[in-house]
Structures are given as structure tokens and as C-alpha cells.
Chains A and B, each alone.
Chain A
């Protein structure tokens, strides 16, 4: 049992669940306290001691199924099937087994059966389970890599088990029983049963090798899934991926929140505030028991976001807006705008609406702009400069999300220059790669002098890197 738990722990670790040594010791102790008959309790106990993040629970359940249940269930199924298939008219498996036991007892002393043969005859499944596990290990099952090797490893494991030897022994046993006077019908039935059990054993071994193959591939597949998601561009996303993406963005936002709360606490202690302190300590007769400090000026970053929602960046901006929505939950001082040629504010929309509805509304122009025009960055910046410049001050980070494809309109770079002089910094996230900036109708090169940081941002990896820069 111990080795199984250790193996299972390793499997969890390989799949990215962090399990410390202390936790696996807890698991051992927990299992000491419980009766292991109930698989559900067993599973709960392992989960409570080893898995500490609710996000890991699905992985755990899946692995548990794979590791503990599937194989044993298959083995049991195979043996049950073997028993059932014996059922001719009026056949009683229980009775036969009992008669065989009696027969064996009468042969006492002359009998020398191998472990496997005994386990087969008594249908001791947990014993068989352990034996198959050991044999498969010796057969080098860890090296299994693909489907084509299933047959090979099944055969090797069977050889390792010496199943043929056990079969021979059992047939000899039947012969002995016949000689000792067991009726022919029963001996025939026994011989049939032996073949059926051997077949069930083979099925069990086969299912074990299959399981082992799956297990070898599981962490690999999971890893592959994550990697590919991180690398994937925002264009072409499925529902599931959007969901996972949202989780990651939320995690990012959470990290931002944590950083902010550290800042807030550092900020707490400023100079001694004499006035307030005296007033507060009047109750103690003016003796300053409680110290009061002035609060330092809040250094909370302000953020103004301009998000391009024109059709050329439709898929990206959907994601970007999702990001904006998460940001808006963390920052109190944030204003968001969407633009194509006209520019409209969506801060309130994002505040009121639940995320999907908000994004839909924003993509639709937030009831403020017409999205069916051709994008014009110059006009949008000009409009912002004219109407919202007061939203920008020396503590503001000005974030632009867009591809700078201006449809050969006037870029009006002076607007961005003006904004740049007022803002703390200007950050531009462009879904296009830098090599495309300035080509065709892209005016990115014209804006670059007025931007503190311009980053290519098309996928999550790039985004998370930029977030580190932006906040930390």
C-alpha cells in the first residue's frame, strides 16, 4: 500500500499538483485511522490531505480514477464476467468453488500450488492486483510509450507472472481431483473455469498496461494543453479556451491586487501626527499610549485605457476588453474608452454589467460610437484630447490597445504628444509584430516617439510579461 501511495503522489506531482513530503505523511496517517473498505472515504481522505488548492481537485479526481479505480474495477469486471459466462443451465459457481475447496482439502499435503494459482482459484483480487503490479514493473512497464507496445507488454507481464505455469498447475490439480474421485461433470466445469480465469487475468493485465500507457501520457498531455494555450494567438479561440483564458487573466488581476495591498500597507506609516495623537489619547490623561501616524500620500496608479474595437482586431479586442474588465475590478481609478473613428467611454458599462454583457456592449460601441466605420486613430486621439484630457495627470498611465492601422488618415501625432507630456507614461499594446509596424497603413512608427513602451501583445504570455512591467 505504501509504495502505491508514494507512486500516486509522484503522479500528482508530475501533473502539477504540489504535494509536499509532510502532506504524503499526513495521507499515511489518515489512512491508518480509516478502514479502507470504502473507496469514497479513501478518496476523500487522500484529497483532504494532499490537495490544498480547489483548482487542483478535478486533476486529482481524474488521476484517482485512473490510478485507483479503473484498473481494479476492470479486473473485477473481468472475473465477474468469467464467472457469469460459466452459467449453463442450473450451474452454480459458488457450489462448484466450494466443492473444489473441499476437494483440495482432501488432497492435503500433496498439493504445492504457486501464489498465482492460489490467488486465481480463490479469486483474491487484491492479491492479484498487487501481483500484476509487481510483474508489470519487472517487465519494464515504465518504458511503454505508444499503443503498439500494449500487446508486447501484456505478454511480457504474463510471462513474468508465469501464468502458463499456474495454468498447468491448475490443470494438474483438476487431474488429481478427478483421480481422487470427483465426478467428471465437476472436473470438466473446473477445467473450463480455469481457462476462463486465465483469460480474465489476461484481460486484467491488458487493462493494467493500458492504464500505465495513459498515465505516462497524462501529464504530458496536460502540459501540452497548457503550453499550447499560452502560445496561441488571440485570433481563433474556442469556448473552452476562452474560459481558461479568463481564469488566467483573473489570476493576473489577483497578483496585481496583492501587489497593491502591499503598497497600501507600506504607505500606512508616515510621520507622527501630533494633533490627532493628542486628541485620541485624551482618554489616557494625555499620556500618548497610542501612536498615530499621518497617512502618506496614496500612490495608487491611475489608468486610462483606449481600446480599439474595429473589425481588424475584433478577436483581440474581445480579449483585451476582458483584461480591461479585470483591471477595472482592481483599480479604483480607471477610465476605459473604446474607439474606431469616434471615441466613447465605457467605464460605467464595465462597472455595471457582468463581464460578457459588458464586452458585448463595448464591442458594440458602448451605445456611444459607431463601430461600422473604418478606424481612425488620429481622430480618436484628437477627440480624447479635446474632451477627456483632464482625466490624465502626472500619475496616469495611458494604455492604448490597438494595431495603429489608420486607413491612410492623418495620424495627428501632436494629440498623442500632448497626452504624453501630461501622463506619467504611455503604453501601447499592439497585436501586430514589430516588423509590421509602419508598413502599409500602419502609423505605429509615427506614434512611437510619443510612447514610453510599445509592446507586441497577441497572446497571454506576452500580456503577462507586460503586466509585470506595468505594475511592479
Chain B
């Protein structure tokens, strides 16, 4: 799939995903060791996006399973299509009567119906859910299990079983084994600590907010047409905003939204009034907005001072993402 760590970086970049070495290393290792990757980090740093671009870069089909409280096997693995089965029995009534024709006793009739069992419990009537689809796929796939922390502990245990050997048993049909091992990504927002058993089977990747340099780069690639100076100012404000103690720290998607909003407003320079007016694009809570408004002067003036000094941005120490 990938030739080296550098290759991962280059090919993800081709898909428009800018990432640091740490992400590339883990992705490369996961493909080599054929292990699932558990991706953690704050909301909006591109955890799900990573899975999507890896799928695109490797040409695999992306199969996504969104987790939520109460998600069970029927929704994740497979389900029998009751109404279709029912419909077929209705339509095939005559056929049944035919095959039943010679039966003399009730017992014999039941036995004959029994023989036809497999007609109704076959591939035709099964609704494959994401996990089964990943297992039955002809081509290699990428299975994304999104927000796995939202699922219940029982489901996690079940997931463990599926992930360990990629086979499931459907009582009426038999055991299905994956033809090709899917590449698995699990994402978590840390709403719940995952069990050690699950963590042990996965490689762990923690994605944090990007540093200034990487964020500007992301902005450049995602919002074409933005002026370099505006991008830098904007990212500077965002970086300082993240240091405030906010209820919801603005993420990269908010940076992008904000940049697009500013472009739409034809802004070429950040000033206090403009930031105040557009603050609701980046902050989602009333309390946060009020807090940021209080700090507004500091958020922006600090930037102008820095500009006067023209201090070069600190070298990227931690490799980061998108």
C-alpha cells in the first residue's frame, strides 16, 4: 500500500491532507502490521477526515459505521429483512400450497416447510450492515468506526471479537470470514475511556491541534485565494483563542469556516470590529463569545506587535495534522 513513512506523507498531501510525521508513521505502521488504528483527539482536528483520505489514497472503498448510544449488533452487523420475507411468503403462497399438496399429516407438512428454510434465510434476505459489508467485500476496504466512545461497553466487547479475527457467524448461513483484511480506523473523542483490551489491539494515534505553521498551510490548501497575510493573522488569533479556557475550543474546521466567511465579506485585514461581528462563526457558546469579546483587544493587538518585530514562527516541533 505505502512504501515508506515519507510516501504516506506525500500521498496524503496529494489528497489535500497535510499531516505531520507522527501521523504518517502510525498510518504506515498500521498498514504494515495490519492493525487497527485508534485515533483520539479533540473534536474537529480531522480524525474522520484522516480515514477518508487514507481510503482515497489507497483506492479502498470506505465503509463507515457511526457509533451512538444504543447501537447494537443488528445495526452494525446484519439484519434479516422481515418485511421482504413476509412479502415473498405472500407472493409464493401458491407455490407453498403446491409443495404442500401431497402431505397427509401436519407433521409431514411442517417437515416440508422446514426443508425450504434456507430459501428465506439466505443472502437474498439479509441486510448487511457496515461490519458485514466490510467482511464480505470482494475488494479490500477501509472500515471507519466513528466515535466509538459513544457506543456502549457491550458493543465494544462485540467489536473486539469482530476485529480480532474478522469473521462472524450467522446462525442460519454459517461462518463468514473476510476475504481481504480491511484496514480499520476507530475514532474517539474521549467521552469514555475505551477498554484496555480494545486499546491493546490497536495502534494509538493522538491528534492535537496543529501548530501555527501547519495550520496556515492547511488554510492555504483548503481555502484557495486567501491572502497569505490574512491567513497568518487569522491563524494567530485562532491559536491564541485556543489558549483561553473555553467550553468548546475552536477547531480547524472553524478556522476554515471563518476564513471562508472573511473571504465572502471581502475582508483583507482583521480588525476588532470585524472579529467581533464574525465571532459567532468560530465560537458556538454564548459564554465563550462573551469571554472572547473581553479578550478581543489582546487577541488582536498582540498580533500587530508581533508583526512589528517580525519574529519568525517557531519551528514545528510536533508533527501535526490537518
Contact = CB atoms under 8 A, between A and B. Distances in A.
A470 interface: no
A38 B25 CA distance: 11
A287 B89 CA distance: 13
Interface in A24-56: 26, 29-30, 33-34, 38, 40-41, 44-45, 47-49, 51-54
Given A52-B202, A284-B83, A40 B319 contact: yes
Contacts of B28: 33-34
A39 to B, nearest CB: 11
Contacts of A283: 83
Contacts of B33: 26, 29-30, 33
Main secondary structure of the interface of A (DSSP, over half): helix
B247 interface: yes
Contacts of B199: 52-53
B217 interface: no
A23 interface: yes
A51 B204 contact: yes
A25 B26 CA distance: 16
A45 B200 contact: no
Contacts, number: 87
B287 A33 contact: no
Interface string B96-138: 0000000000000000000000000000000000000000000
A265 interface: yes
B215 interface: no
A48 B205 contact: yes
A257 B149 CA distance: 13
Contact of A44 (B26, B69, B246): B26
A57 interface: yes
B19 to A, nearest CB: 12
A352 B86 CA distance: 52
B192 A354 contact: no
Interface string B1-42: 000010000000000000001100110110011010010110
Contacts of A29: 33
A470 B26 CA distance: 43
Contact of A33 (B29, B200, B245): B29
A18 B200 CA distance: 10
A45 B245 contact: no
Contacts of A315: none
A254 interface: yes
Nearest to B41: A54
Interface in A249-302: 254, 257-258, 261, 265, 283-285, 287, 289
Contacts of B25: 34, 41, 44-45, 48
B179 interface: no
A48 B203 contact: yes
Contacts of B203: 26, 48-49
A51 B5 CA distance: 20
Interface in B194-213: 196, 199-200, 202-206
A48 B29 contact: yes
A251 to B, nearest CB: 9
Contacts of A148: none
A52 B203 CA distance: 8
B152 interface: yes
B26 A289 contact: no
A289 B81 CA distance: 11
B291 interface: yes
B293 interface: no
Nearest to A289: B82
Contacts of B190: 54
B146 interface: no
Contacts of B204: 47-49, 51-53
Contacts of B26: 44-45, 48
Contact of B200 (A23, A38, A44, A357): A23
A26 B38 CA distance: 15
Contacts of B245: 354, 356
Contacts of A353: 287
A81 interface: no
Contact of A354 (B5, B152, B288): B288
A52 B319 CA distance: 18
A26 B21 contact: no
B29 A34 contact: yes
B193 interface: yes
Given A47-B204, A57-B206, A254-B192, A284 B86 contact: yes
Given A18-B196, A52-B196, A53-B193, 11 more contacts: A22-B200, A33-B33, A41-B21, A41-B25, A44-B21, A44-B319, A48-B25, A48-B26, A284-B86, A285-B86, A354-B288
Interface of A: 18, 20, 22-23, 26, 29-30, 33-34, 38, 40-41, 44-45, 47-49, 51-54, 57, 254, 257-258, 261, 265, 283-285, 287, 289, 352-354, 356-357
24 contacts: A22-B200, A26-B203, A33-B29, A33-B33, A34-B5, A34-B28, A41-B25, A48-B29, A49-B203, A53-B199, A254-B193, A261-B152, A265-B152, A284-B82, A284-B83, A284-B86, A285-B86, A287-B86, A352-B286, A354-B245, A354-B287, A354-B288, A357-B287, A357-B291
Closest 6 CB pairs of A and B: A52-B199, A44-B25, A33-B32, A44-B22, A48-B203, A48-B26
